[in-house]
Structure 1
Amino acid sequence: MKYTQRKKAILLLADGTVFEGKSIGRDGTAYGEICYNTGMTGYQEVFTDPSYFGQIMLTTNAHIGNYGVNENEVESDSVKIAGLVCKNFSFNYSRDDAQGSLEDYFEKENVMAISDIDTRAVVSYIRDKGAMNAIISTNTNIEELKDQLKAVPAMDGLELASKVSTKEPYFFGEETAPYKISALDIGIKRNILRNLAKRGCYIKVFPYNSSYEELNSFNPDGFFLSNGPGDPNPLKEAQELAKEIIKRDHPLFGICLGHQIIAIANGISTYKMHNGHRGINHPVKNLISGKGEVTSQNHGFVVKRDEVENHSDLEVTHIHLNDDTLAGMRMKDKNCFSVQYHPEASPGPHDSAYLFDQFIENIKLSKK
């Protein structure tokens, strides 16, 4: 263990605010938009979630690393966060089925992380001031860091799906499964694929810029648009794809970034939130059933609720109970629905699993 040689490290926010901490593992610098996740568990799933690509992750839970890591708890093939900021980093772990320490995992993945930060103070600050770019570094020359930070692009307008999407199509599930799904990978999580596969789906996953003709060549029973990082507005190919699927009335399900793409395909605007929603304790109300759901969320952009409410072809199906933002919608006369949260993450634990079942039912009705 190398924690005895830990160095002073800096968290510098875009407005010049500085917080001091200590380095974990490697020296260096990492940058991106700082965001915070309120989850008490699931840090490995968070760190490997493609939707977090390019972001400095601040964890509000006081202890990170205490239960180690396990290869079955990853959502992609690598760590996707730009860096980690936490209060207490556990160099030892106590879980029997852990396969190693988070420290060694970060070293293998070349992840920059700092701890001993007053995370409550940082969260309070960015809750008031809003999400902004930040740098974490073992370089303590503030003026040099400020110059580097000026060159970091803003998240608003930033296309990141191409950074995390598959380069070539691939298959997931059993080839003999009763349903075939064409999925657009704009940052897809593995557990989404697992949830579809266990419901009898054989999935072909396509790169972010694939056309309708390419996805339809699989002769699918349904189409899926995944979660992912960045601003949905630059993803023109995905928007055109969604328009074609909707026009032809194929069964379509979208999660998070995919939900936003479906909205834009219907002429609905999205906007960047002050802070976004990130955590596993977000309350959502299903307006159709009247039931509440405890949900996992991870997004910095959201669909404009009033535009959906005033759209003749769309209906609001879910709202976020903390701030009344749009959490789900469906098309009135098309086989299409979407949500702004993660039913596959199961914090409820099963509150939102019905959404995958609903997609399968839509497919069955379409096949009839």
Structure 2
Amino acid sequence: MKATLILENGMTFEGQSIGSTKDRVCEMVFNTSMTGYQEILTDPSYAGQGIVMCYPLIGNYGVNHEDNESSRPWAEAFIVRHMTRRGSNFRCEGGLDSYLKEYDITGIEGVDTRALTRILRSQGTMNGMITCAEHFYVDECLERIHAYRVEGTVERVTRKQVEIYPALNDQQFRVALMDYGVKENMIRCLQKRGCEVTVYPAHTPAETILTGGFDGVMLSNGPGDPADNQAIIAEVRKLYDSDLPLFAVCLGHQLLALATGAETRKMRFGHRGGNHPVKDLEHGRAYITSQNHGYVVTAESVDPAVAEISHVNVNEGSVEGLKYKRPNCFTVQFHPEAAPGPMDTEYLFDRFVENMKGGRTHA
């Protein structure tokens, strides 16, 4: 079946339908990863977005339940150059096309995704629409496209009930993890370091955490504009004002920055992929990181009396991490839990554990 992708600048791309055949309007973003399409689709940070995969061959190893990063895929749409209908891998449990259909994700293949990516890089992230209709009016589609906004996504993706995950070896610590759109491997990275992880819904009051007897708090990744979450930011400020060790990733990093007086801005096209170089300024080392974000903390808004920039993006110098003057508190923009990789920065979970070992007054 024919499918058409329409961008908000009026450009159109024709291809073939994959997945659901429903019309879908969303924010179009691109990902430079060569593998990990299932982890990408099930990353809650993609809620409200359509994913353009730069790598031309997608679906060649199928899908399986073990690689999910959440209970379901959250992407609205999926755009590829070529999709393999039959996965070839001993872990394969089904094909990607069937997976997209099962979860009602609209897709299109046969599109020159590298040309599409160049447009999104040069003109910036923009909304778009995929339709399978034979006949449509572009002007009517553009009205819907321009009216779309990614909003309310944290409420959509966060869990509704508290869940407890036991440590995978001898338990040493109890960690409260705020779920703004957490990935499963973030939980596993804590579990395998001797942490019992209690995962809380996004709007849980800070008092619940502070009176829970925890050794540390982690703020997870998540979707959308961080500034839209004013009620959550107020609770994050209360967590910051305590003496509990704090570690935050991606959206959590942005929320804590906003809670302490810094500002965020929307990036031209964001960072999404598994090959982004980041420099650790404290140790003078560069790492290859996994990233998925369209907003960033503005460097000039960081009060040096509150925090110092600890990591920067090697490509364009944007803020990738903050080390707070308040003891036992640091945050990063990238994903140290990665999944599918690279795992270069998992050492940050060890740093968080060391902070908990040192007690609430150890810097």
**Structure 2 residue matching 1:241: 3-state secondary structure:** helix
- The answer to whether the aligner puts 1:91 opposite 2:85 as a matched pair is yes
Residue matched to 2:20: 26
Query: 2 CA distance for matches of 1:113 and 1:226?
Result: 28
1:223-302 paired onto structure 2 within 5 Å? 223-302=217-296
Find the partner of 2:322 among 319, 322, 329.
Answer: 329
User: How many angstroms apart in 2 are the aligned matches of 1:77 and 1:298?
Assistant: 19
- Once residues 243 and 81 of structure 2 are traced to their aligned partners in structure 1, the CA distance between those partners, rounded to angstroms, is 49
Query: Contact 2:36/2:339 (CA < 8 Å) preserved in 1?
Result: no
Gaps of 5+ in 1: 1-6
Q: How far, CA to CA, are the matches of 1:99 and 1:12 in structure 2? A: 33
Instruction: Give 1:151 shift.
Output: 3.1
Conserved 8 A contact 1:75-1:191: yes
- Kept in 1, the 8 Å contact 2:174–2:195? The answer is yes
Matched residues in 1 for 2:58 and 2:311: separation? Answer: 32
What SS is found at the alignment partner of 2:209? Answer: helix
CA distance in structure 2 between the aligned counterparts of 1:346 and 1:216, rounded to whole angstroms: 30
The alignment status of 1:195 with 2:189, answered yes or no, reads: yes
The one-letter code matched in structure 2 to 1:237 is: A
Q: Secondary structure, in 3 states, of the residue corresponding to 1:22? A: strand
* Paired residues of 1:66 and 1:90 also in contact (CA < 8 A): yes
**SS state at 2:321 partner:** strand
Task: Answer whether contact 2:39 2:339 (CA < 8 A) is retained.
Answer: no
Cα distance in 1, alignment partners of residues 50 and 348 from structure 2: 30
- Say which of 324, 332, 344 aligns to 2:337: 344
Q: State how far apart, in whole Å, the 2-side matches of 1:346 and 1:28 are.
A: 30
Matched, 1:65 2:59: yes
Q: How does 1:33-44 map to 2 (within 5 A)?
A: 33-44=27-38
Q: More deviation in 234-243 or 93-102?
A: 234-243
2-side partners of 1:107 and 1:131: how far apart?
A: 26
In structure 2, C-alpha distance between the alignment counterparts of 1:238 and 1:347, rounded to whole Å: 29
- Partner of residue 2, structure 2: 8
1:363 aligns with 2:359: no
Give the 3-state SS of the residue equivalent to 2:343 in structure 1.
Answer: coil
Aligned to 1:78: 72
The residue number in structure 2 matching 1:183 is 177
SS at match of 2:310: strand
Contact 1:28 1:139 in 2 (8 A): no
Contact 2:210 2:239 in 1 (8 A): no
Q: State the alpha-carbon separation in 2 of the partners of residues 197 and 40 from structure 1.
A: 28
Check conservation: 1:294, 1:347, Cα contact below 8 A: no
1:24-173 equivalences under 5 Å are 24-140=18-134, 141=136, 142-153=138-149, 155=150, 158-173=151-166
Rate the CA distance shift 1:346–1:170 in 2: closer, same or farther, 3 A: closer
TM-score (norm 1): 0.94
CA distance in 1, matches of 2:330, 2:120: 33
State whether residues 274 and 342 of structure 2, in contact with CA within 8 Å, keep that contact through their aligned partners in structure 1: no
The superposition leaves residues 12-69 of structure 1 with CA deviations (integer Å, 9 ceiling, x where unpaired) of 1112111111101432211211000000000000000000001010000101111101
Which SS does the other structure have where 2:236 is aligned? helix
| Residue of structure 2 in register with 1:311 after alignment | 304
CA distance in 1 between counterparts of 2:58 and 2:340 reads 18
Structure 2 unaligned regions, length at least 5? none
One-letter identity of the residue aligned with 1:174:
A
CA drift of 1:348 comes to 6.3
Question: Is the contact between residue 45 and residue 73 of structure 1 (CA under 8 Å) also seen in structure 2?
Answer: yes
Alpha-carbon distance, 1:347 to partner: 6.5
The letter of the residue matching 2:142 is K
1:179 partner letter: F
CA–CA separation in structure 1 for the residues paired with 2:265 and 2:139: 32
Q: In 2, Cα distance between the equivalents of 1:56 and 1:210? A: 29
Supply the distance in 1 between the matched residues of 2:261 and 2:152 (Cα, whole angstroms). Answer: 19
Structure 1: distance between partners of 2:57 and 2:357: 45
User: What secondary structure is seen at the aligned counterpart in 1 of 2:224?
Assistant: coil
Q: Distance in 2 between matches of 1:348 and 1:15?
A: 34
Runs of at least 4 residues off by over 4 Å: none
Q: 1:17–1:343: structure 2 CA closer, same or farther, 3 Å change rule?
A: same
The aligned residue for residue 3 of structure 1 is none
1:4 is matched with which residue? Answer: none
8 Å CA contact retained: 1:51, 1:298: yes
Number of residue-to-residue matches in the alignment: 358
Equivalent residue letter for 1:95: N
One-letter code aligned to 1:211: P
